[in-house]
Amino acid sequence: MRGNNYTRYERFKEMLAKDRVIPLKTFLSFDDRKWNGAEDVGECYAQAWSLAYFALRGDNPSFKKDYSKLFWECVKGKKWQDAAKEIFTDAKVAEYDLAWRAYWKKM
């Protein structure tokens, strides 16, 4: 049972255990309508948090570099979905999805 202090960490670990994680390629294409229309918006926030955590503390330097590029493109005013599409190619997304899930399964 979730308490008042249920964290995004706990939420994401639960999603991973129940196979409710949205594939990275799909998640990176979400617009506001998809995000806010999701079955559970809290899961979207937990998944976004897990990606940021992986970028900051994870063990994949390529993902860190590309996540940083995404951040800076957004700072420059580029729509994040457009920047994500340019930075995260299909091959990279497939690799990063596996690495990100493996990292969280070890946590």
Low-confidence residues in the chain, pLDDT < 70 = 1-5
Residue pair 45/8 in contact by the 8 Å Cβ criterion = yes
pTM recorded for the entire structure: 0.89
| CA dist 13 → 7, 9, 102, 105 (Å) | 10, 6, 12, 8
pLDDT confidence of residue 90 = 93
pLDDT confidence of residue 95 = 96
- Cα separation of 55 and 53, whole Å? 5
